[in-house]
Structure 1
Amino acid sequence: MSDQSKLPPVEVSWFSALCDDDYEFLGVPDEQLRSSYEHCRDIVLGAERGGFDNILLPSGYQLGIDTIAFAGGIAPLISRIRLLVAVRCGEMWPPQLARQIATLDRMLGGRLTINIISSELPGQPMESGPRYRRCVEVMRILRTLLDSESLAIDGEFYKVKLEPPRVGTVSRRCPPMYFGGLSDDAREAAAEGCDVYLMWPDTLDNVKAIIDDLSARAARRGRKLRFGYRVHVVVRETESEARAAADRLLSRLDAGVGDQILRKSLDHQSTGARRQAELRQSATGDGYIEENLWTGIGRARSGCGAAIVGDPDQVLRKLNAYRRLGIEAFILSGYPHAAECDLFARHVLPHLDHGPLTI
């Protein structure tokens, strides 16, 4: 296995498919894998049994089931794993969202983390610049109230004076806020307000460039960011088996259906989504953009569109390469999510020095 003796521990998270994103064959709906409370609950419980530190509960207005409601339902059933709960800023009144977050954190015994999404209000499109400026105000409101401080904001979007809710988080501090986005507006928002900047799959050189850029933007504000990486995995006992499993995922994909899936996503025209498309277009004929990084998943999935594919040592080596660049948190997934969760937990996770990210 790869040497990681000089690397700090890394947070390793899995993904529960709340947004209708689970398949045996990409682009081929499977009723047993559609988002439901029961199916997504089983993924969370499997990730906890497998030893993962955290699990992302994604959110989409049109897709799947509600994230905060699901988090409240699953919280009493887990005892160790953290929840990374995605919240769509444009859909929520921030003081009420703060109270919901504080309540969830209490239910989890302090094991809540937050994935901030700079979303629109459903049905009311908003340009990128003001949408991200509003997101910064939301993060400021949440951090102030969840730090148990009085709020007085006279912003572009919110003008609020308010005392914090009586029931705060277990720590009386705001849970760590994870946030992603590749555009200049998104990068400025991240540097201003979040704790952990998340990025989608990219080449090692570009990952380093993004980390350097965001670090500099945060430093100009007297801040320091941590960095996370969201990617799929396909791990098997041998490389040939892993590549065959990746090919099998696309073996029943109709190109027209794949295009429809990409267009259906609300973020399909974002800077990040365009970058994922660039990676696919630049990849070799078998879909690999660099060693063990396969872009085929992006043919039927908007957003995170690549997977680390290989045997356990190859997957571990690739993860450690990102860690050496400064990545301190991984959010992993695979298809079907429960099955790939088990494979990664057995073949790779025991060889990673990992634990919850502390802010």
Structure 2
Amino acid sequence: MSVQFLGMIGHRLASEIIPATGPIFDKKYIAEFAQAHENAGFDRILVGYWSDQPDGFLVTAHAGANTSKINFLLAHRPGFVEPTLAARKFATLDNLLDGRLAVHIISGGSDHEQRRDGDFLGKERRYDRTEEFLQVVKNSWYSNESYNHQGEFYQAENAFSAIKPHQAHLPVYFGGSSDDAIRVAGKHADVFALWGEPLASAAETVNAVKAEAARHQRDVGFSISFRPILGRTEEEAWAKAEAIRAKAKTQLEQSGYTFGLPKPQSVGAKRLQDAVAQGDRLDSVLWTGIAALVGGGYNSTALVGTPEQVSDALLKYYDLGIENFLIRGFDPLNDAIEYGRELIPLTRKKIAARQQAVSTSTSAVA
């Protein structure tokens, strides 16, 4: 397997340890943030979705206009844009980006978040809607003839999209950890995204998704998200982690900002809370300190250590069949630059060496 590194860009400087600064749609920062990832050697960058933040389509378009090589992953929640229109919006953006787009479909893990945008459908039903949404979107993308759709959530008559994705196949990433999420992912996902869980629970999810995809004669790739904290020494890295915990705790208490939490309906949040219950440090370098502060509400677990140690930790997930690593820091822009200096090239080098060893061994046997 090849390895892909994903980052995440925001529309202004902000994190758990950095109070939001600048205009809420900071064009200069968006451009610089995307360029920093491209220069650092990332393959793709995620643009997230929130019920009270700027539109991700336009953030992605602006970032794309200021880069030339890096790919994008646009988060989208079904339920607010009709799938026929969403398909055209995705296809148009993919053409604008010369084929650099993938979409990350999120059904929504918080009733509170969904209702802020006017969606009062329950969580289980949201996955049923997502399944139908993706069916219609793919019909618009790949059908050369008009079609009719009469479903439970959507209806369309004589639907057709003149604009198709620039790519022959526009990748669909899929988020969610529930049985319903796995069921839909098995049918539609190209890449299934996990939050940073311990190795044992990540392996369980990988195996469950693979089994579901096999029922539909499909293969699915995997992505996992971490917040690496690097130091020149192990001690320095852990001291940095504790400083981040202290700053995050203070900022959360002072601001009252909860990052859209809690997410009582989210199985992913529950799985991270289970990891928190196992301890502060798991699998040697997996740290749950920030996940504990935010109730496991988003990708908040960290890998802590030297670049060598964190790279070795990533390889253990790679051995589970996970080939996409979404890494973002608590000092977002500066950490992206730091990852590009050593962690990304070091991990690529180790995987290339493994592949070369396998190739040499195979040639020798032949």
CA offset digits 1:17-57 (Å, max 9, x no partner): 24x7833xx36624259663332332111000111100000
Check whether the contact 2:44–2:72 (CA below 8 A) recurs between aligned residues. Answer: yes
CA offset digits 1:204-240 (Å, max 9, x no partner): 1111111111111111122221111111111222211
Aligned partner of 1:29: which letter?
P
Structure (1 or 2) with the larger CA radius of gyration? 2
The residue that corresponds to 2:120 in the other structure is 125
- What is the deviation of 1:131? 0.6
The residue that corresponds to 1:107 in the other structure is 96
The residue that corresponds to 1:45 in the other structure is 35
Aligned partner of 1:272: which letter?
G
Check whether the contact 1:22–1:34 (CA below 8 A) recurs between aligned residues. Answer: no
Check whether the contact 2:226–2:326 (CA below 8 A) recurs between aligned residues. Answer: yes
The residue that corresponds to 1:282 in the other structure is 278
- Taking the aligned partners of 2:292 and 2:241, their CA distance within structure 1 comes to 12
Change (3 A) 1:208 1:35: farther
The residue that corresponds to 2:163 in the other structure is 167
Change (3 A) 1:60 1:68: same
Q: 1 or 2 for the larger relative contact order (CA 8 Å, sep ≥6)?
A: 1
Check whether the contact 1:36–1:65 (CA below 8 A) recurs between aligned residues. Answer: no
Aligned partner of 2:42: which letter?
F
Listed as ranges, the matches of 1:237-256 within 5 Å are 237-252=232-247, 253-254=249-250
- What is the deviation of 1:332? 1.0
Query: Bigger CA drift: 216-225 or 99-108?
Result: 216-225
Change (3 A) 1:159 1:34: closer
Are 2:219 and 1:224 aligned?
yes
Check whether the contact 1:27–1:257 (CA below 8 A) recurs between aligned residues. Answer: no
Structure 1 residue aligned with 2:346, among 345, 351, 354?
A: 351
Check whether the contact 1:12–1:53 (CA below 8 A) recurs between aligned residues. Answer: yes
Q: Which is richer in helix?
A: 2
Check whether the contact 1:280–1:289 (CA below 8 A) recurs between aligned residues. Answer: no
Partner of 1:272: helix, strand, or coil? helix
Check whether the contact 1:141–1:151 (CA below 8 A) recurs between aligned residues. Answer: no
CA offset digits 1:176-208 (Å, max 9, x no partner): 000111111111111122111001111111111
Query: Bigger CA drift: 34-43 or 344-353?
Result: 34-43
Check whether the contact 2:14–2:21 (CA below 8 A) recurs between aligned residues. Answer: no
Aligned partner of 1:139: which letter?
L
- Taking the aligned partners of 1:341 and 1:153, their CA distance within structure 2 comes to 44
- Taking the aligned partners of 1:244 and 1:49, their CA distance within structure 2 comes to 28
- What is the deviation of 1:256? 6.7
- What is the deviation of 1:258? 9.0
Gaps of 5+ in 2: 109-113, 352-366
Listed as ranges, the matches of 1:321-336 within 5 Å are 321-336=316-331
Aligned partner of 1:114: which letter?
V
Structure 2 residue aligned with 1:158, among 148, 154, 161?
A: 154
Q: TM-score, normalised by structure 2?
A: 0.86
CA offset digits 1:74-101 (Å, max 9, x no partner): 2221100001011121221111111111
Check whether the contact 1:294–1:307 (CA below 8 A) recurs between aligned residues. Answer: yes
Structure 1 residue aligned with 2:193, among 198, 218, 222?
A: 198
Are 2:10 and 1:17 aligned?
yes
Structure 2 residue aligned with 1:58, among 42, 48, 63?
A: 48
Partner of 1:91: helix, strand, or coil? coil
Check whether the contact 1:13–1:329 (CA below 8 A) recurs between aligned residues. Answer: yes
Check whether the contact 1:148–1:168 (CA below 8 A) recurs between aligned residues. Answer: no
Change (3 A) 1:179 1:256: same
Aligned partner of 1:106: which letter?
N
The residue that corresponds to 1:3 in the other structure is none
- What is the deviation of 1:260? 5.1
The residue that corresponds to 2:285 in the other structure is 292
Aligned alpha-carbon RMSD (Å): 2.4
Check whether the contact 1:99–1:165 (CA below 8 A) recurs between aligned residues. Answer: yes
- Taking the aligned partners of 1:100 and 1:224, their CA distance within structure 2 comes to 27
The residue that corresponds to 2:60 in the other structure is 71
Are 2:82 and 1:93 aligned?
yes
Identity of aligned residues (%): 27
Aligned partner of 2:289: which letter?
G
Change (3 A) 1:305 1:137: same
Change (3 A) 1:135 1:73: same
Check whether the contact 1:309–1:315 (CA below 8 A) recurs between aligned residues. Answer: yes
Q: TM-score, normalised by structure 1?
A: 0.88
Check whether the contact 2:308–2:346 (CA below 8 A) recurs between aligned residues. Answer: no
- What is the deviation of 1:67? 0.4
- Taking the aligned partners of 1:255 and 1:338, their CA distance within structure 2 comes to 19
The residue that corresponds to 2:268 in the other structure is 272
Gaps of 5+ in 1: 1-7
- What is the deviation of 1:300? 4.2
- Taking the aligned partners of 1:244 and 1:33, their CA distance within structure 2 comes to 32
Aligned partner of 1:291: which letter?
S
